[in-house]
Amino acid sequence: MSDLALRRRGPLSSLLDAVYRRPRLFLAVLLAAPLLWLGVIYLGSLFALLAQSFFSLDDFSGVIVREFTLSTWVQLMAPANLDVIVRTVSMSALVTVADAIMAFPIAYYAARYARGPMKAAFYLLVMMPLWSSYLVKVYAWKLILAREGIDTWVLDKIGLKPLLDWYLSLPVIGGPSLSASYTGTFIVFCYVWLPYMILPVQAALERVPGNLIEASADLGASQGATFRHVILPLAFPGVVAGSIFTFSLTLGDYIIPQIVGGSQYYLGQAVYAQQGTAGNIPLAAAFSVVPILIMGVYLTFARKLGAFDAL
Partner 1 sequence: MTSTSATAVLFQNVSRHFGTVRAVDGVDFEIGQGEFFAMLGPSGSGKTTCLRLIAGFEQPTAGHIEIFGETAEGLAPNRRDVNTVFQDYALFPHMTVLNNVAYALMVRGVPRAEREKRAREALSLVRLEGMDARRPAQLSGGQRQRVALARALVNRPKVLLLDEPLGALDLKLREEMQEELRRLHKQLGLTFVFVTHDQGEALSMADRVAVFNKGRIIQVGTPEDIYQRPTTRFVADFVGSSNVLTPDQAPRFGGVSRWTSLRPESILIGATADTMDVRQTAEVIDQQFQGAMRKTRLKINGLEVCAMAPASQTLGVGQAVTVGWSQGALHAMDGEGNDV
Find the binder of partner 1 among 64, 94, 114, 217 (CB under 8 A): 217
Q: Compute the least distance from the CB of residue 247 to partner 1, in Å.
A: 24
Q: Which of 188, 181, 179 is nearest to 129 (CA)?
A: 188
CA 260 to each of CA 37, 110, 156, 193: distance values in angstroms, whole numbers, following the listed order: 35, 31, 22, 15
Nearer to partner 1, 84 or 111 (CB): 111
Q: Does 309 bind partner 1 (CB under 8 A)?
A: no
Backbone angles phi, psi at 76, to 5 degrees: -60, -30
Q: Are 236 and 305 in contact (CB under 8 A)?
A: yes
Find the binder of partner 1 among 169, 211, 263, 300 (CB under 8 A): 211
Backbone angles phi, psi at 306, to 5 degrees: 80, 20
Find the binder of partner 1 among 105, 162, 209, 276 (CB under 8 A): 209
* Rounded-to-integer distance, Cα 246 and Cα 28, Å: 34
Q: How many residues lie near partner 1 (CB under 8 A)?
A: 17
Find the binder of partner 1 among 11, 34, 220, 296 (CB under 8 A): 220
State the angle between helix axes of 232-252 and 267-275 in degrees (0 to 180), rounded to the nearest 10: 20
Nearer to partner 1, 48 or 225 (CB): 225
Q: Compute the least distance from the CB of residue 203 to partner 1, in Å.
A: 17
The radius of gyration computed from the CA coordinates of the chain, to the nearest angstrom, equals: 26
Q: Compute the least distance from the CB of residue 221 to partner 1, in Å.
A: 4
Q: Does 116 bind partner 1 (CB under 8 A)?
A: no
Site of interaction with partner 1 (CB under 8 A): 209, 211-212, 214-222, 225, 229-230, 233-234
